[in-house]
A = this chain, B = another copy of it.
Amino acid sequence: MSQLLRKHLEEIIPLTNAEFAYILSFFTERKFRKHQFVVQTGNSVNHDFFVLEGLLKAAYLTESGKEYILQFAMENWWISDYDALKNHTPAASDIVCIEDTHVLCLTAENKQKLCAEFQPMEHFFRIKTGTGFIALQKRLLSFMMQDTQARYQQLFETYPSLFKRVPKSMIAAYLGVSRETLSRLSAG
């Protein structure tokens, strides 16, 4: 199962067996059930998570109970409350399993240590964070510039497999529209 991480890393850095074993020793493995909280608003955040199997969401609840989804994560994706993880502040989001989920966990300390001791991993995270930054700029632009129909279409085309696995109400919370608006879009 951890070979999924190796394949993922090797898209950016070549690794020997010994190097991968060394990297893997910095991670711990955990399984969560559907609906289980991996991170909970107000609590401290200790890990970055790499998804081996399953599906999660990072969600924000307003005081009136409305949910907004900042991020989904499925196989090969990383997820955490990065602000809380970096700045040792309480989590501002809930990270919750939408399916039974199997992750590899990396503490902030271990990430720092691994990067310092083995430069290819520092390189990996620099490149990966840069890719995430670019994807996030595109998502922000689509919020600024596109109407809901175009955002829906773009999400559908970029991540077709998400649509099969995520309830429509969560797609609506990701796009920042009501469930009713989404129904009109998906019918269109």
Contacts and interface: CB of A to CB of B under 8 A. Distances in A.
A130 to B, nearest CB: 5
Interface stretch (A19-27, A28-36, A131-139, A156-164): A131-139
A60 interface: yes
Contact of A136 (B119, B140, B144, B176): B140
Given A82-B133, A86-B130, A86-B134, A140 B143 contact: yes
Contacts of A141: 60, 68, 70
A136 B130 CA distance: 12
A37 interface: no
Nearest to A92: B141
Contacts of A83: 134, 137-138
Contacts of A77: none
Given A82-B133, A126-B126, A143 B145 contact: no
Interface string A44-80: 0000000000000000101000001010000000000
Given A86-B131, A140-B140, 5 more contacts: A86-B130, A119-B119, A125-B126, A132-B133, A145-B176
